A and B are shown apart, each in its own frame.
Chain A
Amino acid sequence: MSVLAEIKPRSQVLINEINGDSFSKRRLAQMGMRKNKTLVVLENVGKGPILVEIDHSKLVIGRKLAEKIIVRQVTPNKAR
C-alpha cells in the first residue's frame, strides 16, 4: 500500500481508502473516486498536483489531498 502522491506516472492503481476532510471526500466520491476503482496516474512531478485518469475523465488532485488517498499499485509504469 502507498499513497497516490507517491505513484509514478503511467502506473495503474486500485483505490483502497480515501481519507481527508469531509467536503473533499464527498467531492471525490461524486467524481467517481471510490474503493476498488482503478485509475491511471498520468502526471506526477515535484511538488505539483497529480493528474489521474478515471472513467475516461482526467482529474487534477492537489498533492495534499493525494497524500490522503491510499492505493495499491496494479501495473507498474505501463508502457506508453
Chain B
Amino acid sequence: MDLPGIYGFGPASPEEIFPREILVKGQYEIIVNVVDGTKLERSLFLTHQLLTLNKSMILVVTFSDKMTEQGISIDIKKMEELLGVPVLVINSFNKSDLTQLKNTIFSRLEQPRLPRPILLPQLKKTKVFEKAEAEIKNILNLHSFPENDLAHLTKETLAYFIALRDDYLWKRLSTDLRDSIERIIKNTEHEFDLKNGLDIWLIEKEYEIIEQMQKQVLIRRSKAGQHSISEKIDRILLHPVWGIIIFITIMWLMFQTIFVVSQPGSDLLDLLFHNLAKEVKNTIPSPVIASFLADGIIDGVGFVLIFVPQIALLFIGLTLMEQSGYLARVVFITDRFMSKLGLSGKSIAPLILGFGCNVSGVLSTKSISDRKERITTILANPFIPCSARFPVFVMLSASFFPKHAGSILTLVYFAGITMAVLVSWILRNTLTRGEETSLLLEMPDLSVPSLRTIFYQTYLYLREFVEHAASWIAGGVIGIWILSVTGPKGFLGPDAMNDAGIMQESWIFLLGKLLLPIFSPLGWNTELVVALLFGFVAKEIVISTLGLLYGIKGEETLLGALGNSVDPISGLAYMFFILMYTPCIATLVAIKNEIGTKWAVFSVMIGLLAGWLVAFVIVYVGGLF
C-alpha cells in the first residue's frame, strides 16, 4: 500500500490521519520507508518514530545521483548497525537498483526481523520521559487500554505516541482516560518546567538523537559558494514581479494547449457517441428501448467521456506543475495576495484549475490541510466560469447583444472571478472563519519528473473522476430523459426529445412552469427555466435544450429566436444566473465526496441565491434606464 506523506506522529491535518491509522493498526508485514537522501536529517525523524512500531522495515534512501552531485555520502554499514534494518541507497530511475530493492523486500518478507528501535531507550534515559511514560502506562493498564486491534503495540510505544498527542490514538481514548492523561502531561510539564509542552519537548529530544546519529553516518562535503541550477532558476521564479509574469504566462499556455489539443479528441468522441446513438435508434425495433439506450444511456455516458481528453490534459498539466516542484513556487508568490482574502497560497491552484473544470478544481484542494480554508476554496470554485460554460456564454451573448458580444463575454468572466473572490472573503469572515491559516510547507528542489510518474498520477486522478462523476452524470442524464418522455398523461413516447410540442406535456416542462413564478420577475419564460433545469446536469446542455424547446435546429436561427423573445437586460440577467446558479452534477458530487453532503447542499443554495440576487439587481437597475 502506498501511503500519502506524513511528517511524523502527533496532531494531524485531515489527510494525514488515515496513513497513521494504517501504520498503528499494523495489519501489514513490512514497512518500506522511502526517504530523500539529500534531506536525511528530516527523513530520519519519521524513521525513528516508525521504528518504535516494532515492524520489519527496509530503509530506502533515494536520489543517490543527487547525493553524489551534492557531495553527500552515507556510511551504510554503520547505519544498518545503528537502526537494525537493511539500508539501500538507490536511484529510482535505475532498473538494477529497483531489482535489488525488490529482492531485499522479498527476502525480508521471508525472514522478518525486528529492528532495533533506539529512540525509546534513549528517551527513557531522561527523567521527563521516564516519569511521563511510567504514569501513562499505569493509567492505560487501569483502563485496560488498548483494545484488540492495537494490542500488538508495546505499552511503551503507546505511551510515547499518546504523549506526542497523536490525533488517531487520542480519538481512541475514552473521555475519562483523556482527562487523566491530560493531567499527567500537565503535571510533567509543570514539574520539569517544559514551557513549550511535553510533545514539543519530545520532538526536540528526538532531533538531538538524530543529530548525534548523523555525526556517525553522514558525510557532507559542502560545496560552498556553488549554487545549484534549481537555485538559479528560483531567483526568477520567486521574484515578486517576474515570478508573477511567468506564472500567468504558464497558465495561459496551459489552457491554450488544453483547448487546442483536447478539442479534436472531444469532437471525435462526441461524433462517435452521436453515431452510436443513431445506429442504436436505427437497429433496435422498439422505439422506447431505442430511445432509452440512445438518448438516455449513450448520451449520458457519452457526456462524461467527451470530457475525458480535456480533464486528462488538465491533470497532466497539474501533475507536471506539482511533481516538478513548480506548484510550491506558485504558492510562494501568490500567498501575499491570497492572504488578503483570508486564504493562503495553497488555494490558488484549485481556483485556477476551476477555469478548466470545476471538478478538477475541487479535487485539487486535497493539498490544503486547514479544513476551513479547504471548504472555502471548494465553495468558491463553482463561481469560476469553467470551460463547459464557455459555449453557453458565447451563444447567449451573441443572441442578446449582437454588437457587443465580446465585451459582454469578458464582463461575465470578470464577474465570475469577482464572485469567487467575494464569496471566499464573505465565507472567511462568517461561516468558515477560523484562525488565520499560517502557511508552512516544504519547498522541494525543482526537478524534471519522469513520464511514468506523470502518467500514473494522471491515470489515478482520471480513474477517480470517471468512477465518481460518471455514475452521477450518467444517472442525471438518464433521469432527465425519463422526465422528458413521461408526463401526467403517462408515457409520451421518445419523440418528445425531438418535438417541442410533445415535450410541453412532459414532467420537466411542468416543473419549469411550476418554478416560473420565481423567475418571472426576471423576465424569463418557461423555455428558459426548463433549459436551466437541464443545465443542472451539465451547463453546456442549456444550449441544446433551448434549441429543442424553440423547435429550431442550427445555431443561427436560435440566435434570432432568443433575441426576439427575451429582452437584452433579462438576457444578461440569465447569463449571470447561469454563471452562478449551481455547480453541475459532477462538481456537486466532487464537493460531496470531499467535504460532505451538507456543504454540497449549501453550495447549491449559495449559488441559487447569489445568482437570483445578481440577476434581480441587473433587471432592476436595467429597468431604471
Contacts and interface: CB of A to CB of B under 8 A. Distances in A.
Contact of A26 (B10, B207, B238, B445): B10
B468 interface: no
Interface centre among A28, A30, A56, A61 (most CB of B within 10 A): A30
Contacts of B437: 62
Interface string A41-65: 0010111110100011111111111
Contacts, number: 110
A65 B245 CA distance: 27
Contacts of A43: 238, 332
B197 A22 contact: yes
Contacts of B332: 43, 48-49, 51, 60
Contacts of B8: 30
Contacts of A24: 438, 440
Contacts of A74: none
B439 A26 contact: no
B347 interface: no
A16 B332 CA distance: 25
Contacts of B227: 80
A26 B11 contact: yes
Contacts of B7: 27, 30-31
A15 B39 CA distance: 20
Contacts of A76: none
Categorize the interface residue count of chain B: 35 or more
A56 B439 contact: no
Interface string B196-240: 110110011001000000000000100001010000000000101
B436 A64 contact: yes
A20 B438 CA distance: 10
Contacts of B165: 26
A63 B338 CA distance: 12
Contact of B42 (A27, A34, A45, A57): A57
A62 B339 CA distance: 9
Nearest to B436: A64
Nearest to A68: B438
B203 A60 contact: no
B335 A48 contact: yes
Contacts of B438: 20-21, 24, 61-62, 64-65
Given A26-B11, A48-B335, A59 B440 contact: yes
Contacts of A21: 435, 438
A57 B442 contact: yes
Contacts of B344: 62
Contacts of A61: 438-440
B39 A49 contact: no
B162 interface: no
A45 B240 contact: yes
B111 to A, nearest CB: 33
Contact of A46 (B38, B240, B443): B240
Contacts of B443: 51, 58-60
A46 B196 CA distance: 30
Interface of A is mostly: mixed
B240 A56 contact: no
B364 to A, nearest CB: 18
Interface residues of A, number: 35
Given A43-B238, A47-B336, A60 B41 contact: no
Nearest to B164: A26
A57 B345 CA distance: 20
A27 B436 contact: no
Contact of B11 (A23, A47, A56): A23
Interface string A26-40: 111111101100000
Contacts of B306: none
Contacts of B440: 24, 27-28, 31, 59-62, 65
B41 A32 contact: yes
A59 B444 CA distance: 9
A34 to B, nearest CB: 5
A47 B338 CA distance: 11
B202 to A, nearest CB: 9
B331 interface: yes
B45 interface: yes
Interface in B332-346: 332-333, 335-336, 339, 344-345
B335 A58 contact: no
Given A49-B335, A55-B41, A29 B240 contact: no
B192 to A, nearest CB: 16
B474 to A, nearest CB: 42
B203 A29 contact: yes
Contacts of A47: 336, 339
Given A31-B7, A31-B442, A26 B199 contact: yes
Nearest to A48: B336
Contacts of A65: 438-440
A43 B235 CA distance: 9
Contact of B238 (A27, A30, A51, A56): A51
A57 B44 CA distance: 13
A26 B197 CA distance: 10
A25 interface: yes
Contacts of A25: 196, 200
Contacts of A48: 240, 332-333, 335-336
Given A29-B203, A34-B207, A49 B10 contact: no
B558 interface: no
Contacts of A56: 38-39, 41, 220
Interface of A: 18, 20-32, 34-35, 43, 45-49, 51, 55-65, 80
15 contacts: A21-B438, A29-B200, A29-B204, A34-B203, A45-B240, A49-B345, A56-B38, A56-B39, A56-B220, A59-B442, A60-B332, A62-B335, A62-B438, A65-B438, A65-B440
Interface of B: 7-8, 10-11, 38-39, 41-42, 45, 165, 196-197, 199-200, 203-204, 207, 220, 225, 227, 238, 240, 328, 331-333, 335-336, 339, 344-345, 435-445
3 nearest CB pairs, A to B: A62-B439, A65-B438, A55-B41
Given A20-B438, A55-B41, A56-B38, 11 more contacts: A24-B438, A26-B165, A30-B203, A31-B7, A47-B339, A51-B332, A57-B41, A57-B42, A57-B442, A58-B444, A60-B442
